[in-house]
Chain A
Amino acid sequence: MKDIFEILEQNARATPEQISTMVDKPVKEVEKIIKQAEKDGTIVKYKAIINWPKLGKEDVWALIEVRVAPQRGVGFDAIAERIYQFPEVYSAYLVSGTYDLAILVRGKNMQEIASFVAEKLSPLEQVQSTVTHFLLKRYKESGETFDIPKETNRRLPITP
């Protein structure tokens, strides 16, 4: 069963037929497992990783360290939710160390991110401080690297 999800995590477009062959299970069973996983939220969504700079469209990204005051009864979860509900927030994590929340924010330009921080994030009552790091280059995302030639090209076309 774990196999099916590993394959989908690598390639969301793998068909139930292909997966069934690869894991040696009937197609019907694979379909059922996938359907169930989609329903119960094991599979959250199918998305593509896009190399945007290739299309000449480059969003601005920032990694923001946020120190917050946890609240009685709900800990960090309530304030985290207040923050991650903003559509500008691409990812959000609670982390150990010198700050509490690490959030990845995406905007059309620096102004957009600056105003998000100044007008939405910082004014929140529980937010004590923020440190904004603008991303300069994406090397690897979700396990995939950008602009690296495929290694298969380097192999000779035929070897013993």
Chain B
Amino acid sequence: MREAEAFDRRSRRTLLLGSTTLQQCREAVDGWVAAGYGLTVVPRLDLLEGRASVATWVQAICDTLEEMVRNRHAVVAVRSEGDRALDAVLDELARRGVALTVQPCDASPKA
């Protein structure tokens, strides 16, 4: 194995969540992190209500996640109640035909 390949430690596993969920479900998220999941966090887009940049954020996050799925990474979404920012991302992914598993925020990673 070449040296560069030996250092490719990417888990190819990502947990998608909103920043609200990150704050509310810290203990559960710690479990996903310990299991090797990287985090993709949707920021508080409600702070941008009405601004065109909401679409830029949603499209860029969805481009990232769609690229992961196309490259056979595992992507799991967790959400707490009322995490509206995550809904916008999930809606756009559904429109693109990218289906994600969505679990409650206190879910644990599978062994």
A, B: real partners: no
Name A residues whose Cβ lies closer than 8 Å to a Cβ of B: none
Name B residues whose Cβ lies closer than 8 Å to a Cβ of A: none
